[in-house]
Amino acid sequence: MSIKLKLLCSAVLLAIVATTFAVMVHVRNEDVRSAVEAVFQNGVDPLDRLTVASAKATDLENRFLAKSTPAGVVGPIGASDGAELLAGLSEILGELRQSALEVPEGPSSRRLSELAYALNRLRVAEGDVTHRLVRRELSTIVDEFDTAANALRADIMALRQRSVDHGQSVDQLVWTGLGIGSLVGLLVFMALGRSIGRSIRNAAAALTRVGDPSADPPVRPNVDPMDDLANAIRFVEASISDRDNVAARLRKETHRRLESELHSQRQRFENALDNMTQAFCLVGDDLTVLAANDAFVRMFPGIAAGSRAETVRRHADLAAILASDDPEMQVHQLRSGRHLQVRRHDSGGERGTILIFDDITEQVAARGELERLSRQDPLTGLSNRSMFYEHLNGMMAQDLVDDEIAVIAIDIADFNSVNTTLGHMAGDDLLRQVGERLAALVRPGDLVARLDGDEFGIVQRLKGQPDAGHHLCRMIAEDLQKRPVTVAGRPLGVRVAIGMVPLAKADRAAGRDAHAVMQDCELALYQAKADTGSKLRLYAPGIREEMEESQRLVSDLRDALDRDEFELYFQPIVNLPQRAISGFEALVRWNSPTRGQVSPGLFIPVMEANGLIVRLGRFVMRDACRQAARWPSNLSLSINLSPAQFKSADLVGDIRKSIETSGIDPRRLQLEVTESLFLDEADAILETLVQLRRLGLLVSMDDFGTGYSSLGYLSRFPFDRIKIDQSFVRDMSRSENIAIVRAVQGLGAAMGMTVVAEGVETAEQLAMLEAEGCTDMQGFLFSRPRPASDLAKMLVEVRNGFASGAYAVSSPQVAVAAGEPA
């Protein structure tokens, strides 16, 4: 702690002590002043008023003692005496009340209150008292006045004694404060003297040790510290003078030694420069070579230390390097083809420049190779995606090129199956061979790149031939298909999907970049892969609109599932022998608040592609079973299952839960599946169908005869019903269609399966089907799909249609369905 801070702390301490005692004395004085005021306010003034009231009471008593009462008269006093009594009592009470207001709460105040009560009691009598009673009461009141006065005098003496005590405590506090203040001042003085003296002695000792580190100055407590400090300063001055003399001698010796060492270091430095792998030179401002090592002489033959400016200028490579005034690191290529990295440094003391030369020829070659590899696909040797985008951006930025540009994206179909069946090495070999084919088919100057996985890209300049892009795409598709690629010893015909975007000069000037163009190209490729026919798709703005509309449709469908916008419609299945409806097929409709009622042909494929069909199928199964449970027991319910639903592990559980929750008889429930279901994982699908059959329900094959291995699956799984596809029923005039219907009918009869003809729209079709032995039909002839509220109407309409002959059925056989509702 510094001396100033110590003094400040001492002053603050003394100020705190003085302030504390001043506050305490002030408080005590306030107590004394309060006690004195209490003596006058609560003692002297009330006593004076009490004395006046006592005198008036005594005078009133004397006046009534002087009044004589006639002998034998006992009645109340007269009116004049009563008025005199009331006037005297009122004056006494006035003085008494003023005295009571100034007396604090206590024994004295209670006595005054009792005295006032006695006076009020005599006063309220209003003269209706006898002389004797008046004289007795006044005598008692006078005595009470004397008692109250004595009590009040005792209170005054107590207040006076308290004032004396407070005054003595103030005197005691003053003397105590004086003693404590003196003691604190003495302690502060001693502490400051000891502390500051110790600091000065420490400073003196430190100065002495500065002059002589081995000195151990004695501690002399009885000597003034300032004398020790003065002696220490003189000692240090003498020590510094001696040291200056010694230092001067040492500097001379050091100078001689440094000169010798500098010469040795210079020699070592020159040897080190000559052994450097880097070339080094120091060139003056006049281009004179002031210093150079052996590597520099080898790099620039004919130039060495001491070469003049004329010699330097005649050396073309060195002159070009020195002519550059770029202060940063530079790379120069010599006429011999070698690359030098040149660094410049200011020479410091001498006027000139230090140049250091690194031969980086090998590094430049390695960097070029790395850059080439970074732009090349390691598998095919073609350009990679980065190089493709860079090249495309460069082509789009060439404003002077008027030619159109074709950007082509190519995707190998079923590439994953090659990897799966033949192995990844075969897949890599396929990619390499396809890359070679593409590179051989394009013209010089066009770029072929492998973009990602099994996708390739081509940037082609059309050179005034607008159809050149289409021609190249067709040539690629035909070449890969007609000339199979040999992979793993097997010939493979490669099928590809191709998307193309043509870019005119105006398109390039619109500010689009390669990423935007490739997005359009990828959209065209996506459409090409989705097309069942041609695998070549040219980008048009409508493709993006279709994709955006598809995305909006998917979003709306998700919202529709959340908002329960789907509704079940039912189409009747008619049994000809019964001339009545035997059941209904549940069909779903979408009532969109913005799109209206949307066709199932539009939203069902989208939901299948995006997996939403599982949620929709769960809704159809639950709601259809709930409604069918309330139908007559002779009516069946048919529900279509999508192949996507079979990929859900919860399918069987969901159907079981719907049956149990609704309470429907599972024998009334018929699930319809299509032949396309068996394209993937047929064995797993058949196992799922077996589990569904165990629930007690029936399974139908829908759209029978449209393709694939229908007969094979019929033999592996015992379907309960097969439905003839409406494409065969629609054109029954063709003999081959009639033959197919007849064959399917015979197959159903042979295998014990019910056959249902779909798409019956005319009475003629009904008659021809009936002639072939078909007993169950479905189609617009009987009714279009209608909401559940129309079920009763459809039952009546179909029954009335048969009864009226509206369906023109030949050889009618009327048979009413058991339990058919009226």
Residue 120 CA, chain-centre distance (Å), reads 88
Q: In terms of domains, do 355 and 400 share one?
A: no
Q: What is d(CA 245, CA 241) in angstroms, rounded to the nearest whole number?
A: 7
**Quick one: tokens of 588?**
């779903």
Count the helix, strand and coil residues of the chain and give each as a percent rounded to the nearest 5. Answer: 60, 15, 25
Are 786 and 570 within 8 A, CB to CB? yes
CA angle (22, 24, 25) in 5-degree steps? 65
Q: Rounded to whole angstroms, what are the CA distances from 57 to 61, 99, 530, 780?
A: 6, 15, 130, 131
Q: Percent of the chain, pLDDT > 70?
A: 86
Give pLDDT, residue 451: 92
Q: Per the structure, how many domains does the chain have?
A: 4
Q: In terms of domains, do 55 and 138 share one?
A: yes
**Quick one: tokens of 663?**
């309470």
Are 569 and 588 within 8 A, CB to CB? yes
Q: Which residues contact 625 (CB under 8 A, 6 or more apart)?
A: 637, 658, 659, 661, 662, 664, 669
Are 20 and 111 within 8 A, CB to CB? no
Instruction: Report the amino acid identity of residue 312.
Output: V
CA angle (421, 427, 431) in 5-degree steps? 150
Q: Is the dihedral of CA 538, 541, 544, 550 positive or negative?
A: negative
Give pLDDT, residue 173: 79
Which H or E run contains 467?
none
Beta bridge partners of 460: 406
Q: Percent of the chain, pLDDT > 90?
A: 29
Give pLDDT, residue 400: 46
Does the pLDDT at position 534 exceed 60?
no
CA angle (316, 317, 319) in 5-degree steps? 65
For 591-652, give the DSSP string: EETTTEEEPHHHHHHHHHHTTTHHHHHHHHHHHHHHHHTTS-TT-EEEEE--GGGGG-TTHH
Last residue of a domain, one of 517, 539, 561: 539
Q: In terms of domains, do 49 and 159 share one?
A: yes
More confident position, 337 or 591:
591
Q: Which residues contact 804 (CB under 8 A, 6 or more apart)?
A: none
Q: Rounded to whole angstroms, what are the CA distances from 233 to 109, 200, 210?
A: 84, 12, 10
Which H or E run contains 497?
strand 496-503
Distance between terminal CA atoms of the chain?
115
Q: In terms of domains, do 589 and 656 share one?
A: yes
Give pLDDT, residue 600: 92
Mean pLDDT of all residues in 313-341: 81
Does the pLDDT at position 821 exceed 50?
no
How do residues 219-230 score in pLDDT, each as one tens digit? 566 566 677 677
As to burial, measured by CB atoms within 10 angstroms (0-12 exposed, 13-18 middle, 19+ buried), residue 447 is buried
Q: What is d(CA 152, CA 53) in angstroms, rounded to the nearest whole number?
A: 14
Last residue of a domain, one of 335, 365, 395: 365
Q: In terms of domains, do 345 and 381 share one?
A: no
Question: Helices 385-397 and 514-530 meet at what angle, rounded to 10?
Answer: 120
Does the pLDDT at position 811 exceed 50?
no
More confident position, 41 or 550:
550
Q: In terms of domains, do 291 and 387 share one?
A: no
Asked, for residue 258, whether it belongs to a domain, the answer is no
Are 296 and 283 within 8 A, CB to CB? no
Give pLDDT, residue 93: 83
How do residues 334-373 score in pLDDT, each as one tens digit? 888 888 888 888 776 667 888 889 888 888 888 877 777 7
Q: Which residues contact 491 (CB under 8 A, 6 or more apart)?
A: 484, 485
CATH code (residue 283): 3.30.450.20
Of 89-93, 380-384, 608-612, highest mean pLDDT: 380-384
Mean pLDDT is lowest, of 67-76, 259-268, 369-378, 688-697, for 67-76
**Quick one: tokens of 399?**
């404003």
Q: Rounded to whole angstroms, what are the CA distances from 623 to 3, 287, 613?
A: 97, 98, 15
More confident position, 199 or 142:
142
- Residue 814 — very low, low, confident or very high, per pLDDT cuts 50/70/90? very low
Q: In terms of domains, do 359 and 395 share one?
A: no
CATH code (residue 658): 3.20.20.450
Mean pLDDT is lowest, of 254-258, 399-403, 416-420, 559-563, for 399-403
Which H or E run contains 686?
helix 682-694
Does the pLDDT at position 535 exceed 50?
yes
Q: What is d(CA 568, CA 540) in angstroms, rounded to the nearest whole number?
A: 38
Asked, for residue 454, whether it belongs to a domain, the answer is yes
Instruction: Report the amino acid identity of residue 485.
Output: V
- Residue 575 — very low, low, confident or very high, per pLDDT cuts 50/70/90? very high
Asked, for residue 813, whether it belongs to a domain, the answer is no
How do residues 164-187 score in pLDDT, each as one tens digit? 787 778 778 778 878 887 888 788
**Quick one: tokens of 643?**
């192949």
Give pLDDT, residue 219: 58
Q: Please, what's the b/e burial string for 626-639 (b: 16 or more CB within 10 A of its CB; e: otherwise)?
A: ebbbebeebbbbbb
CATH code (residue 458): 3.30.70.270
Asked, for residue 259, whether it belongs to a domain, the answer is no
CATH code (residue 120): 1.20.120
Q: What are phi and psi of 208, to 5 degrees?
A: -65, -40
Does the pLDDT at position 765 exceed 90?
yes
Q: In terms of domains, do 389 and 415 share one?
A: yes
Which H or E run contains 20?
helix 3-39
The CB-side HSE value for 762 (13 A sphere, CA atoms) comes to: 8
Asked, for residue 810, whether it belongs to a domain, the answer is no
Does the pLDDT at position 128 exceed 60?
yes
Give pLDDT, residue 459: 94
Beta bridge partners of 282: 291, 354
CA angle (211, 215, 221) in 5-degree steps? 105
Q: Rounded to whole angstroms, what are the CA distances from 165 to 35, 43, 103?
A: 10, 18, 22
Mean pLDDT is lowest, of 257-266, 304-313, 643-652, for 257-266
Q: In terms of domains, do 410 and 485 share one?
A: yes
For 573-594, give the DSSP string: EEETTTTEEEEEEEEEEEEETT
Q: Which residues contact 588 (CB under 8 A, 6 or more apart)?
A: 566, 567, 568, 569, 600, 604, 616, 619, 620
Asked, for residue 244, whether it belongs to a domain, the answer is no
Are 576 and 629 within 8 A, CB to CB? no
Q: Which residues contact 547 (CB under 8 A, 6 or more apart)?
A: 523, 526
Q: In terms of domains, do 97 and 129 share one?
A: yes
Q: What is d(CA 64, CA 57) in angstroms, rounded to the nearest whole number?
A: 11
Q: What is d(CA 165, CA 154) in angstroms, rounded to the nearest whole number?
A: 17
- Residue 262 — very low, low, confident or very high, per pLDDT cuts 50/70/90? confident
For 140-173, give the DSSP string: HHHHHHHHHHHHHHHHHHHHHHHHHHHHHHHHHH
Are 607 and 555 within 8 A, CB to CB? no
Asked, for residue 818, whether it belongs to a domain, the answer is no
Q: In terms of domains, do 631 and 776 share one?
A: yes
Mean pLDDT of all residues in 589-611: 91
How do residues 452-488 score in pLDDT, each as one tens digit? 899 999 999 888 788 888 999 999 999 998 898 999 8
More confident position, 424 or 680:
424
Mean pLDDT is lowest, of 135-139, 266-270, 698-702, for 266-270
The CB-side HSE value for 605 (13 A sphere, CA atoms) comes to: 5
Q: Which residues contact 681 (CB under 8 A, 6 or more apart)?
A: none
- For tokens 């779909």, the residue is 758
Q: Is the pTM of this model over 0.85?
A: no
Are 296 and 315 within 8 A, CB to CB? no
Q: In terms of domains, do 401 and 451 share one?
A: yes
Asked, for residue 174, whether it belongs to a domain, the answer is yes
Q: What is d(CA 233, CA 259) in angstroms, rounded to the nearest whole number?
A: 38
Give pLDDT, residue 75: 67
How do residues 33-88 score in pLDDT, each as one tens digit? 676 666 555 657 787 888 888 888 888 888 888 876 665 556 677 778 788 788 88
Q: Please, what's the b/e burial string for 162-186 (b: 16 or more CB within 10 A of its CB; e: otherwise)?
A: bbeebbeebeebeeebeeeeeebee
Q: Which domain holds residue 479?
A: 377-539
